[in-house]
Every structure is written in structure tokens, then in C-alpha cells.
Copies of this chain bind each other. A is one copy, B any other.
Amino acid sequence: MEFNSVSKPGDNCEPDRPAHPGVFPTCEAGKSDNQSAARTVDFPVSVVLPAGGTGERTGLQTPKQFCSFLGRPLISYTIQAFERVSWIQCIVVVVAKENMDLMTDIIQRFQHRKVRVVPGGSTRHRSICNGVLALGEGERPAADRPKVVIIHDAVRPFVEEDLLYKIAMAAKEQGAAGAIRPLVSTVIATTSEGFLDHSLERAKYRASEMPQGFTYDVIHQAYQRCSESDFDFGTECLHLALQYCGTNAKLIQGPPTLWKVTYKRDLAAAESIIKETLSRSACVITGGCAQAGTLADALQKAVGALDMVHLSASDELPIRGTEPLAIMDLASAAKLRNVLLYGIQLHQSKDAERWERSVLKVAEITSALIRERSSALVGQLLQA
């Protein structure tokens, strides 16, 4: 006698189909809930998300923000991070003209609701400025304007509500605020001949990261007053606020996950973070026989790191045959609904030790399948 246990690694598993945004677990779920639950923002906040980069530093043809991770482009994760924050009203995504259609398509596929797409300028600052101006447009420009504008990068998908809250509050109070991180490397000044001039004392400096926040008035005024050279060669919004509005930004240390996906290796790092978060829940469907429950419990124990949902169905098991081809057909159908289905066949044994070893093997295979989410292996009937 044999029966099947089927692992279903949540949603959003297949590389080339969209996940349902409504049930997609957020990367920070459970981390900042305690902090953010008590915190509300009682003034309007909107976001400008420059996404005009060409991705030349990853060495890939697709710009990083459009690279797909488990079926969803990076920028969609970033948008999602803002969309789930209740007090954020509007997200203006600024993209190169040639990517306007692609971006519109992403918004539709992943059902983003708070997003407006605006064409970018020739430089980062011109793009951000376009985004800020777009926030001030409308029939009643003054009334519709946000009090605070948060500026972020499309390629920093792991921003948490807690940090956004701190940035928004500090921006409202001080006029400007920005996330910082300690320097990983010493920073040195070079001579024009390529020699060391001097090195900076690492403790006195910080890396300026994103998000940054500004009152609408400060960022708007900074862009009104800044020079063409600032528009062309500047990179730092905090600098413009200081130089043209006399506003010294409040600096707030962010977590390491704030980093900017820059190089090819960062894509692997981002994917690992996304996978690690997704892997936290799984659903096990077993047959209705007596040992099925025992197996499910043993599994839950063995695969300790997962939040397992155990569904025991005696009459309505989705898999009846254990023939490889039957499972393969079922897997093909499931794939269309964004479910990666694998079969694990466990040969029952009355030998307690053998049974325990098999259960551990099921757990090991299940963990590996959930972690890797390989679409090449769906429909396989694996042996435990």
C-alpha cells in the first residue's frame, strides 16, 4: 500500500506566470508588525520611485528593476512594499519612455492599485523632478499635494514600513530625512595620477541610502532652484535640500536589507531573500488513512522552519493514481494555477525505524523542493 504527500509551496512559484498579489506574503511580514501597528501617519504621503536605470552594472540586457524573481519583476516587489502601507497614498513610478508600456503591463498583471507611471528625464535628478511635479498636478493642485514625498529606488525591494514611518515623520518635522548605513569599505581620495591622496576616517562618514523623505515644499523648491549642472551630474537629493533650502536632513540608520541591487551577484542575493521569505509556509495534503496524520505530524516536526498547513482529505484527494503520468498531468494543470506540484511516494513499512527514516527523507525532499521551487521538476514522483 502506498499513498502520496504533496507539497505545495504557497503561491507565486512559477517563473513565467504572475502570482496573485493579494496573497503574496510580504518580505517583512511579522517583523515590524508590532512597531507599526501602533503608528499612524495623519498627513498625506506619496512616493516617487525612479526606475529609469539601464542596469549596465549587472551586465544583463534587462534593466535590474525588470528582472524577474519567481515570476515577478523586481520593481513589483518594491511597489508592493509601499502599497501595503496604509498611509501611503500614491506611488509615482518614473520610467524611461521606451519602458512605459512594459511598466503599464506590470501594473495590470500584478494588480497594483496606487501607481501612476510618468516618463523619465535624461538623468536621475530630472526623472525624480518629473515625479515630484506629477504629484503637484491636478485640478486643485495645492489641496491634492502630499505633505511629504518619499523618494526611493526601484531596485531596493526590501524596505520596511517601520523605516518608512521614521523617514516620513522626520521629514515632516525637519523638512528632509534620509536612510544611512555604516561604510563597509574605507573611502579614499585619489590624486589625478591615480595615487592615494588621503583616506577618510571611517567612523565619521556614512553611506547615504534610500528611502529619503522631504516635505513637498522642500523638494519642490530644491528642484526649482538647482542648476543645470546639478540636474546633470548630481546624485544626492539630500544635498540639494541642504544647498538650496538650507535644510539639514535628519539621518536614520536602516537595516542591511536596504542595499541597492547593483551587480549581477545582487540578483542572487535578492532572490535568496525572496525565497527565504516565501519558503515559510507550505501546505501538505495527505490521504485519509490512519498513518497519514502521523506522517503529517512527523513532517511538521522534521521541517521545523516552515509554517505548515496540514490538510487531510479522505474523500476528495486531488491525486488518486500514483502512476507517474497521472501526477504529471495533474502538475501541468496545477501549474496553470500557479501551483508547483510534486509527488513524493512513501512505501509504508511496519518496521518503525524504516518508517522513521522514510519520514525524514520526505521532510528532506520537501524542504529542498520548497527552497528551490524548481519548475523543471514539477510532476515528478519522488521516492522517500
Q: Which A residues are within 8 Å of any B CB, using their own CB?
A: 57, 174, 176, 178, 180-181, 183-191, 194-200, 202, 204-209, 235-236, 238-239, 242, 248-252, 256-257, 259-260, 262-266, 268-273, 324-325, 328, 364-365, 367-368, 372, 374, 376-377, 379-383
Contacts of A186 on B, CB cut-off 8 Å? Answer: 207-208, 235-236, 239
A190 contact from B180, B199, B372, Cβ within 8 A:
B180
Within the assembled complex, what's the spacing in Å between the Cα atoms of A325 and B198?
Answer: 66
Q: Evaluate contact between B184 and A180: CB separation under 8 angstroms.
A: no
Q: Evaluate contact between B383 and A376: CB separation under 8 angstroms.
A: no
Within the assembled complex, what's the spacing in Å between the Cα atoms of A194 and B180?
Answer: 10
Within the assembled complex, what's the spacing in Å between the Cα atoms of A252 and B194?
Answer: 8
| Copies of this chain present | 2
Contacts of A205 on B, CB cut-off 8 Å? Answer: 187-190, 200
Q: Evaluate contact between A196 and B248: CB separation under 8 angstroms.
A: yes
Whole-angstrom distance between the Cβ of A57 and the nearest chain B Cβ: 7
Within the assembled complex, what's the spacing in Å between the Cα atoms of A259 and B263?
Answer: 10
Whole-angstrom distance between the Cβ of A268 and the nearest chain B Cβ: 3
Q: Evaluate contact between A272 and B263: CB separation under 8 angstroms.
A: no
Q: Evaluate contact between A259 and B251: CB separation under 8 angstroms.
A: no
Contacts of A208 on B, CB cut-off 8 Å? Answer: 185-188, 199
Q: Evaluate contact between B365 and A251: CB separation under 8 angstroms.
A: no
Q: Evaluate contact between B235 and A196: CB separation under 8 angstroms.
A: no
Main secondary structure of the interface of A (DSSP, over half): mixed
Contacts of A199 on B, CB cut-off 8 Å? Answer: 208, 236, 238-239, 242
Q: Evaluate contact between B202 and A190: CB separation under 8 angstroms.
A: no
Contacts of A198 on B, CB cut-off 8 Å? Answer: 239, 242
Contacts of A57 on B, CB cut-off 8 Å? Answer: 256
Q: Evaluate contact between B260 and A265: CB separation under 8 angstroms.
A: no
A383 contact from B235, B248, B264, B328, Cβ within 8 A:
B328
Within the assembled complex, what's the spacing in Å between the Cα atoms of A197 and B206?
Answer: 11
Whole-angstrom distance between the Cβ of A68 and the nearest chain B Cβ: 16
Contacts of A207 on B, CB cut-off 8 Å? Answer: 184-188
Q: Evaluate contact between B196 and A238: CB separation under 8 angstroms.
A: yes
A381 contact from B185, B200, B328, B383, Cβ within 8 A:
B383
Q: Jot down 21 A-B pairs with beta carbons below 8 A, ordered by A.
A: A185-B207, A186-B236, A187-B206, A188-B205, A188-B206, A188-B207, A189-B204, A195-B249, A195-B251, A200-B205, A256-B263, A256-B265, A268-B271, A268-B272, A269-B269, A325-B383, A365-B376, A372-B374, A377-B382, A380-B380, A380-B382
